[in-house]
Amino acid sequence: MSKVAFVLADDYEDSEFRLPFEAVRDAGHEITVIGIEKGKEVKGKKGKDKVRVDATAKDVQPGDFDALVIPGGHSPDKLRMDCDIVAFTRAMVEAGKPVAAVCHGPQLLIEADVVRDKTLTSWPSVKKDLQNAGAMWVDREVVVSGNLITSRKPEDLKAFNRELLGHVGAASRR
């Protein structure tokens, strides 16, 4: 099975973490939650969901993982201020590993400078940022562009999870 990293900080969109996390876990893959401070409990923006950070980006190597998931909410905006998480994200993309971002998640992809000439989607408020960074933005529930998988919002998670699991499964067969 594959090893999947989830990057997370406070105020993540609860369902955009929880539903992909459960789908990946239930498919039998190993998950590591990476954040800014190892051992810290981060909270979803609705205040009900809590997750303990397993490691920082300094504690792990991109080669340790087969895929990366970036949930939305305010978390990506906080994560993009951490140069180690940005470098980890960039390395995962450049290694050709599946990197899945939902809602505001592409903010971290923009900071990692990996969206140029890619077709992506996101929450509408991230559209102009993606375009300014050289991406083509489309309004679809899920978009696959190379090894990047993006979705717009919680209502798209069924399609997002389907693509994520398909790509994670392919990564585990390499």
pLDDT tens digit string along 116-159?
999 999 999 999 999 999 999 999 999 999 999 999 999 999 99
Give the pLDDT band of residue 170 (cuts 50, 70, 90): low
pLDDT tens digit string along 20-64?
999 999 999 999 999 999 999 999 999 889 999 999 999 999 999
* pLDDT score for 1: 87
Say whether 83 is catalytic.
no
* pLDDT score for 169: 78
Alpha-carbon distance of 134 to 154, in angstroms, equals 25
Give the contacts of 132 (CB within 8 A, at least 6 positions apart).
Answer: none
Structural domain boundaries of the chain?
3-172
Return the structure tokens found at 62. Answer: 């991109």
Nearest to 166 by CA among 144, 140, 137, 139: 144
* pLDDT score for 48: 85
CA distances from 83 to 12, 53, 57, 87, 145 (A): 19, 17, 9, 6, 24
Give, in words, the CATH class of 3-172: alpha beta
* pLDDT score for 173: 54
Active-site residue, from 53, 79, 100, 103: 103
What is the Cβ-side half-sphere exposure of residue 118, based on CA atoms within 13 angstroms? 23
User: Under DSSP, is residue 76 helix (H, G, I), strand (E, B) or coil?
Assistant: helix
Mean pLDDT of 103-116: 98
* pLDDT score for 47: 86
Asked if residue 107 has pLDDT above 80, the reply is: yes
